[in-house]
A and B are shown apart, each in its own frame.
Chain A
């Protein structure tokens, strides 16, 4: 069964550094998402992306965050200047059609900001 794949599985970075989290969504999917889960808290929506542009973003997704689909397969989340509170699991998800279909999630990237 096709999967959403994320790399790296664990990223450690120093506060203030830029980090790029990478995702390869399922190949025929058209809608892409990033979610995050801070340890012990719920899974939170960050941003949705369709047709090469952001379609919705949450309050968490401030100017330090950006997303890009640089080619036909990758979908990246960039955090420009990481903060301690950015430490979390970041999940990429994709879906082929919007109407009442489940999101497929990757296994996540654990980001640790020191």
Chain B
């Protein structure tokens, strides 16, 4: 039951260029989406998020776009830096209730080459 899908297991980009990481979801009840970055031997680190009432959120080099009709979101990193090399997880939260259960995608390994 893959409610959150990251279809690209890996992505390789040259330093200075744009990295675009994609994520698709199937559950229309998701109302909040997050991107986490994970280095080996560390826990996921929150990067950026977007509420379902928005279509874009920007924070420095990182921008997340949400297309609700297509149930698709993407993370843009520009310019990409070698330190951005990590696994990026897309996550989604359902609406309502007192719980905060995140559903994660499988992750995309980003490699930024100098």
Q: Which residues of A contact B (CB under 8 A)?
A: 4, 6, 31, 33, 35, 41-45, 48, 50, 55-56, 91, 93, 95, 98, 100, 102-108
A45 partner, pick from B36, B41, B51, B103, beta carbons under 8 A: B103
Q: A106-B43, A107-B43, A108-B42 are in contact. Are A45 and B105 (CB under 8 A)?
A: no
B13-21, B61-69, B73-81, B93-101: which lies at the A interface? B93-101
Q: Is the CB of A4 within 8 A of B34?
A: no
A95 to chain B: closest residue by CB: B100
Interface centre among A31, A93, A98, A100 (most CB of B within 10 A): A100
Q: In the complex, what distance in Å separates the CA atom of A35 from the CA atom of B46?
A: 15
Are the C-beta atoms of B107 and A42 separated by less than 8 Å? yes
> Which residues of A have CB within 8 Å of B101?
33, 45, 48, 56
Q: Is the CB of B44 within 8 A of A43?
A: yes
Candidates B36, B99, B107; contact of A55 at CB < 8 Å: B99
Chain B positions near chain A (C-beta within 8 angstroms): 32, 34, 36, 41-46, 49, 51, 89, 91, 93, 98-107
Q: Which of B32, B42, B51, B98: most chain A Cβ within 10 A?
A: B98
Which residues of A lie under 8 Å from residue B99 when comparing CB positions? 48, 50, 55-56, 98
- Per DSSP, chain A at the interface is strand
CA distance in complex: A108, B42 (Å): 7
